[in-house]
Amino acid sequence: MKRASFILTALPLLLLPTAIQAQTSGRILGRVVDGESGEPVPTAEIRIEGTDLGTLTSEQGDFILRNVPPGEHRLRAERLGFTPTIVMVRVRAARTTQVRIELTRAPVGVPGVEVEVERVRLIEPDVVESHEAVLGGQLIELPVDEVEDAVELTTGVSDGRFRGGRVGQETYEIDGLNVKNQLSASTQGPVLELAPSSLAEIDVVTGGFGAKNGSALSGVVRYATRRGNRERWEGRAQVTTDHWAPDDLFRGFAGLSLSAGGPLRFLGDGTTLYADFLAQGMVDAEPRARGLTCLQPEDGDAALAARIDGLVSDPLTAPLYCPYTADRLPNQRGDKLIGFLRFDRPLSSQLDLSLSLLYNRRQNELYTREFKYNDDYQLGLRKQGAFLNLNLDWSKYSGGKVYRATFRGAALHLSQFVGAVDPATFEGRTQLAGFGLSEFQFLGEGFVKRPIEEQLERGTAVPGYQRPGGTTGSPFGPAAEGIFFTEGTPEFVTWGESGFLGADLDGELITTRGLSLRGGSSVRLYRIENYERVLAYLPGSSPNYALFYPSTASGYAEMSLAAAHDITVNLGLRVEGFESGLSFQRDRGNILAPRIDSEWKVNVLPRIGLAGPIPGTDGRSVIRFNYGLVAQPPDFQFFLDTSVGDSLRTVIRRQGNPDLSFERGAAWEAGVTHLANDHISLSATAFLKELTNLVTGVLVFTGFGENQFTTGDFGSVKGVELTVRARWPGLLVRGGYALQEAQGVTSGAFADPVAGTRQERIEFPLAFDRRHTADLSVFAGHAAGDPAQPWGGSLTATVASGFPLIRQDVQLTPDEGIDERLPWTYRVNLRVSRELGRLPGCGGCRWRVSADVRNLLGRDNVLALRGDTGTLAPSVSDLDAAAAEIPEDIRPIPRESPDYSRIADLDNDGLITAFELRTARFAAALDRNDPSLFFGGAREFRVGLEVVF
Amino acid sequence: MRPTVSPTLTRLTRAALTLATLAVASLSCRDEVASFEERRTDGPRGQLGQLTFNTGDDRSPAWSPAGDSIYYSAAGAFAGLPSDQGVLVSLPFAATGTLTQLLPDFQSPDDDRRMWLVSPLPSPDGQRLAHVEIAALWDIGLFCSAGPVASCTPPPDSAPLPPLQEIVIRVSPLGDARLDTRSLTVRFPGVVLDARTAEFTVHDYPFQQLFAGLGAFIFQPSWAPDSERLVFSDGLRLLIWEVGADEAVPVPGTEDGVTPAWSPDGEWIAFSRLERADSLERFCVHPGLIPCATQDRLEYVRGGSELELIRPDGTDGRTLGSGFDPAWSPDGGALFFRRGDAIWRAAVDGSGVGLVVHGAADGWEPAVSPDGRFLAFSRISGRGDYDIWVISLASE
């Protein structure tokens, strides 16, 4: 019997996923042998239960199954004279899983024996990299809105930062193709967005990625899209909304998710189509924990508390304090749309075609405190992405070897626009539950998209833009002039479009002896167009504009082999290069300096990885080790003069540098995974990253050279990660903890906009040095894959310490360092669903209801504090200075004046005096510093209805 | 043969219909985040009592034909203007709204044409707006060189020049007071310059003293019901100007007539006739190296004026007793006017004279709303400046 079971000691050979990412489904490459003699078993029938995928073994006992959906499958092997055997196999997207099955001779008719391989799912003895995979089935059960939220559940990933790296140090792959937002990943994220229901798997790699992966310093996120079911049409429709929630939980969210996929048999067997559509409408696109709040006495120091108490305790001035608060932020309306279509067709027995098209659009107003009381104009954002991917995958199985070649051609287009939303088009657009059927239109959008020469020739302001100002419309009337802009528009308009035409070619050779050779190349031809105009209301103000054509190219070779003692060795070499495509003056201070063309920057990056069982542990403990050089081209936005928006959406300017080189680093990691019992595994990983040539992060205003982007920052991140995975029938648990320290020399640590740059090069905690993070995810019932359970639940929890608080005006020294940090944050999300059985009136349909709670505990997580005071509040002296801007001899404002505000007329005598104006201005300055955006997500409660067929 | 429907399609359709029904039911839009609503209209605005609170003078109220707004001249209400300058404004007489400036261009601080604008008056048909621009006042310094004080008795400061020199009556479309204007320049009598001797002689008539002392807009015009003619005073008589004509025609029998008011039926003009006294003094106005000016001061009975009625052709004059600044009731049956320190009401035939008791004490420049329910007037507030008040006539 034991011989009939899986031979645990042979696990490394039996399940050998290899690291090529050629297609979005997976492959199983296997060999069936006689368990007693070890001889190959020919003509054995191999079948994946629940699918029509199957084949027969060759004379050598080998077989290959292609187009296997990612996930866990029961692989059944049968042959007359042997006991039918079932092996649990986990297939990952874009990978070849190797399996060895030993059959036991038995009389005909003996029932099949299911092999217990839970441990294989809990430890991966042959996997070199540090990764976390979430299957599509789990993804739609998670209480997340965006796939990025699921990525956050990986140990070492927090707020988009991978292992202490900066945002943008990771790269994204969709079906094996790199689609990083090369223009502005560090500030805008990936832009391209997929719906959770369109994915078959997310694989998040935080360390040890192979030579195929480039353009990343800290991580790789691999998305494998879903393809249509080959056997029958199936679909899913879901409505989720909080429009039913009580007022204090109502955020104005409504979402509709539709997906359907199935065979197109009239185009040939195996041809499938999958379509996915997601639409969301949001009244408050970024619900914050306190909604629209104001400074509380405890938010600042004692002096501020006393002044607030003074305002509140006087009946005449009490109405000036917090005159406008709400459960939700105003001017945050928006919507999101994602459409995905995938077509798969086998062109021959060896060649598969896959074509996918993705479009996403997110648009919403951006709450800005200074425009809080502006009824006419608000800042808005529109992001759009479109992605076309053609994938041709050829494979041949011969003589125990698999030969594969994959060609990918892709086109990507990303665009974003930030500017003043045109109120005429905004209010009149058709919408349902907050979802707008049309795009946001922005003031002057047609003008700023005109040829730049034409704009300069006209010399006019951007049409529709008006100088921000106004004395009325706020609760403080004329006292708030210059503090709140109740008239006019936001000042700036910026848009960018980037895209590429790209092609990849990969080749692979896999043998059943555990050797694989891979190689490939990749080319991207970019087109980047970027426009920024800061004083858009001002005729003659000049925009920053650039149109250029950068390129990237890369090649790699990698070998993976099963060495002695079941050790898997990966050796790889990657060559990566980019060219900015710009000509520039190196000396910007000299207008006569010659222009020079940018050159190709090239990097050679070796990668080494080892994995294998620890001798004497019966395969229950495995170790990993990785070393590699990593590099990524800097964001192309750093080539350009740019206005950089900080977290408070203010605008600062910086000079571009087309001569930037790679951001580089070296990464080491070592890890051990131990199977505690058949249900629980523990994993520990230590890592070290040396980051060099990082693009400087903070402005320095002195001089031309210093006011320019450079790659002068460097640092190192070291840390330890612990992960627990547990699995019982109907229950999945995963928990992780990461301790890390990110030290570095960064311009951010000692830039002083007033005094200039300090000369010391001292290491300080990097701005993204988050020390402690812990996360937990639990799936139960049918959410854990147990179809017998009508109930399902999933819970995610994250705990994290705060980022360093870099104070302004604080002179740092090596001894003092930075000991101030933002507070810890806690967040728990919960999703519960209940199957309701067959849907009445729809025979083949099943339905279920769900309830989603975000930030279950209602924590007011603080994500930012002021750099000047270290609190949520400004200093009283700053507020007093604002109040003192009102001259004492100002003429009183009578009630009939348009400038009059009842709330500022404290004694209600029909006249606002200078004293009253100053009092109101203090309150206005207090209100202007409302800390709404300093807080994390609000508690949300949604209910959903889902129908599947 | 009847085509068969795919079971898949049927399921899909049913699922879609079910979801659509549920979606419509569930996605009934909840309120969006409400914008801040400024509570700027609380308080006495729109209620009876003090309507304006400007620290400068708010003068000469006039109702819009619809009775929903009050036009008046305001001084010093706007930043950037000296407090002694006035602008024309309209103020909704309702629970909401703030004043609207009617002539912004004329009051630009950098504009040489800046004048003192007073007495806005919408025409009865609501198409036109008349107003008065007070041009430069007399300034002896423009004519005489300053020199050492010689033998002036009494000193010059106690015997200033009469201020009114010239006004312009301007009529423009009500919607935009800057366009298509018709104007008439009115020169006030009393100052004569002898170019040969470089001396000028001044007759300080009662209207000048009334203007200088009380700021009374004695020249305030009044529309005829046909909205084509205006009656006004040049200080010594009433004149009728057919809007657009080059000259105005004097109304006989209106000597020393000021503050005219045309009756709603067009048959009568009510006005105030200033009472003169007999005393005559001669003052040295501005001594210099050479004598520059002398003044003949013509006294009048302070506060003494008679309320009179006269036909537009100057016939059928009648005296109604003492009174100043008359205003007609909309039905033409009564007059409201100032007498003593209060506003009074009397029938056209002079009977039924009574005090308007509720809140109209110290009122000037009465104006009755078109529906006859309200009385607007100006009054000096505790701060010493004029403000506009409105009271109800319902209980009178």
| pLDDT classification of A154: cutoffs 50, 70, 90 | very high
Residues of chain A found within 8 Å of residue B99, distances taken between Cβ atoms: 896-898
Cα nearest neighbour of B93 on chain A: A896
Q: How many whole angstroms separate alpha carbon B277 and alpha carbon B266?
A: 33
Beta-carbon separation of A902 and B40 below 8 A: yes
Mean pLDDT of A579-590: 79
B22/A256 Cβ within 8 A: no
**Mean per-residue pLDDT for B90-115?**
60
Strand partners, A743: A716, A765
Of A943, A948, A746, A921, the closest CA to residue A851 belongs to A943
- B388 → chain A, closest CA residue: A896
Determine whether the interchain pair A243/B30 forms a contact, defined as Cβ–Cβ distance below 8 Å. yes
Minimum distance, in Å, between the CA of residue B116 and any CA atom of chain A: 19
Question: Which residues of chain A are within 8 Å of residue B85 when distances are taken between CB atoms?
Answer: none
Most A CBs within 10 Å, among B9, B13, B30, to test the A interface = B30
Q: Between A388 and A475, whose confidence is greater?
A: A388
Residue A556: partners with Cβ closer than 8 Å, 6 or more residues away: A211, A212, A214, A518, A519, A520, A521, A572, A573, A574, A575
Q: How confident is residue B84, by pLDDT bands cut at 50, 70 and 90? A: low
A886-905 pLDDT, tens digit per residue, is 998 888 888 888 788 888 88
Are B30 and A233 within 8 A, CB to CB? Answer: no
**How many Cβ contacts (< 8 angstroms) between chains A and B?**
152
Mean pLDDT for A102-111 is: 69
Structure tokens at B386: 């004029």
Smallest CA–CA separation between A894 and chain B, in Å? 5
Give CA separation, B71 vs B64, B125, B292, in Å. Answer: 7, 15, 42
Q: What is the mean pLDDT of residues B145-158?
A: 46
Interface of B with A (CB under 8 A): 7-8, 11-12, 14-16, 18-19, 22-23, 26-30, 32-36, 38-45, 50-55, 74, 76-79, 83, 89, 91, 98-99
- Distance, in Å, from the CA atom of A320 to the CA atom of A318, rounded to the nearest integer, reads 5
Inter-chain CB proximity B12 and A260 less than 8 Å:
yes
Residue A530 has pLDDT above 80, yes or no: yes
Mean pLDDT (chain A) is: 85
Q: Provide CB contacts within 8 A for B2, sequence distance 6+.
A: none
Give the type of residue at A703: G
- Tally the C-alpha atoms within 13 A of residue A199's C-alpha that lie toward its C-beta: 28
Q: Computed from CA positions of residues B143, B145, B146, B149, in that sequence, does the dihedral angle turn out positive or negative?
A: negative
Given an 8 Å threshold on Cβ–Cβ distance, is A262 in contact with B8? Answer: yes
What's the pLDDT at B113?
A: 47
Tokens of A777: 């995810």
Q: Which of B33, B35, B76 sits opposite A284 (nearest CB)?
A: B33
For B326-334, what is the mean pLDDT? 95
pLDDT of residue A167: 87
- What pLDDT, on a 0 to 100 scale, did the predictor assign at position B25? 56
Record: contact B83-A891, CB cut-off 8 A: yes
Residues of B in contact with A331 (CB under 8 A): 33
Give the pLDDT of residue A687: 96
**What is the spatial distance between Cα B70 and Cα B93, in angstroms, rounded to a whole number?**
6
Query: Taking residues B249-257, what's their average pLDDT?
Result: 95
- pLDDT tops 60 at residue A181: yes
* 8 Å CB contact of A910 and B43: yes
Gap between the Cα atoms of A637 and A584, Å rounded: 15
Q: Name the residue among A476, A580, A565, A477 with its Cα closest to residue A514.
A: A565
User: Could you tell me how far CA B205 lies from the centroid of its own chain?
Assistant: 23
Cβ–Cβ of A842/B29 closer than 8 Å?
A: no
Which one has a higher pLDDT value, A788 or B157? Answer: A788
Strands A219-225 and A170-174: parallel
Taking the CA of residue B92 and the nearest CA in chain A, the distance in Å comes to 9
pLDDT band (50, 70, 90) for residue A13? very low
Higher pLDDT pick, A104 / A750 = A104
**Which range, A85-99, A683-697, A868-882, B374-388, has the best average confidence (pLDDT)?**
A868-882
Burial B359-395 (b: 16+ CB within 10 A, else e): bbebbbbbbbbeeeebbbbbbebeeebbbbbbbebee
As given in the structure block, the two tokens for residue A564 are: 């002695």
- Does residue A498 have a pLDDT over 80? yes
Q: Which of B14, B38, B53 sits opposite A894 (nearest CB)?
A: B53
CB contact under 8 A, A839 and B50: no
Q: CA of B126: how far to CAs of A281, A522, B222, B367, in Å?
A: 49, 78, 14, 16
- Tens of pLDDT along A36-61? 888 888 888 999 887 778 888 887 78
pLDDT at position A814 over 60 = no
Q: Model confidence at B23, in pLDDT bands (50, 70, 90)?
A: low
Rounded distance between C-alpha atoms, residue A867 and residue A624, angstroms: 41
Q: Quick one: pLDDT at residue B29?
A: 57
Query: Does residue A314 carry a pLDDT above 90?
Result: yes
Query: Looking at chain A, which residue has its C-alpha nearest residue B80?
Result: A891
Provide, as residue numbers in chain B, all residues whose Cβ is less than 8 Å from the Cβ of A927.
none
Residue A489 one-letter amino acid: T
The pLDDT value recorded for residue B298 is 61
Residues in contact with A677: Cβ distance below 8 Å, sequence separation at least 6, in sequence order: none
Among A196-210, A332-346, A427-441, the range scoring the smallest mean pLDDT is A427-441
Residue with tokens 């009337």: A477
Chain A residues whose CB is inside 8 A of the B29 CB are 243, 432-434
pLDDT at position B283 is 57
| pLDDT at position A649 over 60 | no
What pLDDT does B188 receive? Answer: 87
Identify the pLDDT of residue A536.
Answer: 94
Q: Which residues pair with A441 in a beta bridge?
A: none
Token pair in block for residue A234: 């199936």
Looking at beta carbons, which residues of chain A come within 8 Å of B76? 891
Question: For residue B337, which amino acid is it?
Answer: F
Task: Give residue-wise pLDDT tens across range A675-727.
Answer: 998 889 999 999 999 988 888 755 444 444 445 677 777 888 999 999 999 98
The alpha-carbon gap from B241 to the nearest alpha carbon of chain A, in Å, equals 34
pLDDT (average), residues B56-63: 90
Asked if A626 and A208 count as a contact pair (C-beta separation under 8 A), the reply is: yes
CB contact under 8 A, B98 and A896: yes
CB contact under 8 A, A433 and B29: yes
Coil, helix or strand for A924? helix
Residues 6+ apart with CB under 8 A from A890: A914, A917
Do the Cβ atoms of A807 and A754 come closer than 8 Å? no
> Residue A654: pLDDT band by 50, 70, 90 thresholds?
low
pLDDT, mean of residues A775-798: 93
Contacts of B268 by beta carbon, 8 Å cutoff, 6+ apart: B262, B309, B310, B311, B312, B332, B348
Which among A290, A896, A946 is the top mutation candidate for probing chain B, defined by the most B β-carbons within 10 Å of its own β-carbon? A896
Predicted local confidence at residue A831, as pLDDT = 97
Residue A358 scores a pLDDT above 90: yes
- Read off the pLDDT band of B143 (50, 70, 90): low
pLDDT band at A756 (very low <50, low <70, confident <90, very high): very low
Q: Which residue has the tokens 């199954």?
A: A65
In percent, how much of chain A has pLDDT > 70? Answer: 88
pLDDT at A931: 96
- Contact indicator for A513, A399 with CB cutoff of 8 Å: no
Give the integer Cα–Cα distance in Å for A575 and B312: 103
At B141, the amino acid letter reads G
Lowest mean pLDDT of A12-21, A282-291, A536-545, B154-163, name the range. Answer: A12-21
Please give, rounded to a whole number of angstroms, the shortest distance from the CA of B90 to a CA of chain A.
Answer: 10
CA distance B138 to B115: 14
B45 contact residues in A (CB cutoff 8 A): 895-896
Lowest mean pLDDT among A258-267, A468-477, A738-747, A813-822: A813-822
pLDDT of amino acid B19: 62
Measured from the Cβ of residue B193, the count of other Cβ atoms closer than 10 Å reads 13
Among B19, B55, B74, beta carbon nearest to A237: B19
What three-state secondary structure class fits B68?
coil
Mean pLDDT, to the nearest integer, of B298-302? 58
Share of chain A above pLDDT 90, in %: 53
Pairing between β-strand A940-948 and β-strand A846-854 as defined by DSSP bridges:
antiparallel
Facing A895 at nearest CB: one of B14, B26, B45: B45
Enter the DSSP assignment of A256: E
How confident is the model at residue A506, as a pLDDT?
Answer: 95
Gap from B95 CA to chain A (nearest CA, Å): 11
| Mean pLDDT for chain B overall | 76
| pLDDT surpassing 50 at residue A849 | yes
- Mean pLDDT for A391-414 is 89
Spell out the alpha helix ranges (H) of A232-361: 302-313
Tokens of B334: 């009564």
- Whether omega before A297 lies within 30 degrees of 0, making that bond cis, reads no
Q: What is the C-alpha to C-alpha distance for residues A148 and A337, in angstroms, rounded to an integer?
A: 16
- Tracing tokens 């007759």 back to the chain, one arrives at B203
Greater model confidence, B276 or B256: B256
Q: Write the residue in B38, B39, B54 that is nearest to A894 by C-beta.
A: B54
Maximal CA-CA distance, chain A:
108
**What are the angstrom distances between the C-alpha of B287 and each of B128, B150, B386?**
47, 6, 36
Q: Which residues make beta-bridge pairs with A364?
A: A334, A381
Residue A750 has pLDDT above 50, yes or no: no
CA A57 to chain centre: 42
- Measure CB to CB from residue A895 to each of B19, B43, B79 and give the nearest one: B43
Average pLDDT over residues A449-454: 94
Which of B6, B14, B17 to substitute to test the interface with A, most A CBs within 10 Å? B14
The rounded distance, in Å, linking the Cα atoms of B60 and B72 is 5
Least confident of A54-68, A792-806, A847-861: A54-68
Overall average pLDDT of the A804-817 stretch = 61
For A345, other C-beta atoms within 10 Å of its C-beta total 17
Chain B nearest-CA distance from A524, in A, is: 41
Name, of A28-32, A332-336, A564-568, the range with top average pLDDT. A332-336
How distant, in Å, are the alpha carbons of A294, A901, B39, B98 from that of B48? Answer: 38, 20, 19, 16
Contact A95, A172 (CB under 8 A): no
Min Cα distance B329 → chain A (Å) is: 27
User: Which stretch of A472-481, A565-574, A663-672, B297-306 has the lowest confidence by average pLDDT?
Assistant: B297-306
CB–CB contact A330 B8 (8 Å) = no
The pLDDT of residue A890 = 84
> What's the length of chain A?
949
Per-residue pLDDT, averaged over A132-153, amounts to: 89
Strand pairing report for B116-122 and B128-134 = antiparallel
Residue A543 makes CB contacts below 8 A (sequence gap 6+) with A448, A452, A455, A531, A532, A533
pLDDT tier at B284, thresholds 50, 70, 90: low
B22/A239 touch (CB, cutoff 8 Å), yes or no? yes
Question: Which of the 8 DSSP states describes residue A46?
Answer: E
* C-beta atoms of B79 and A891 within 8 A: yes
Torsion, CA A343, CA A346, CA A347, CA A351, rounded to 10? 110
Q: Which among A244, A283, A891 has the least Cβ separation from residue B76? A: A891
Nearest to A731 by CA among A782, A802, A681: A782
Distance from the Cα of A441 to chain B's closest Cα (Å) equals 20
Name the helix (H) or strand (E) containing A920. helix A914-928
Question: Among partner residues A233, A330, A841, which is closest to B14 by beta-carbon distance?
Answer: A841
| SS3 category, B106 | helix
Does residue B102 or residue A403 have the better pLDDT?
Answer: A403
- A902·B43 Cβ contact <8 A: yes
pLDDT value, residue B27: 55
Tokens read off for A539: 């005729």
Look-up of token digits 């009865």: B124
- Confidence (pLDDT) at A381: 95
Measured distance CA(A252)–CA(A242) in Å, rounded: 6
**CA–CA distances in Å: residue B296 to residues A628, B64, B156, B168, B293:** 108, 42, 14, 26, 10
* Interchain CB distance below 8 Å, B39 and A902: yes
Interface test with A, best of B14, B38, B89 (most A CBs within 10 A): B38
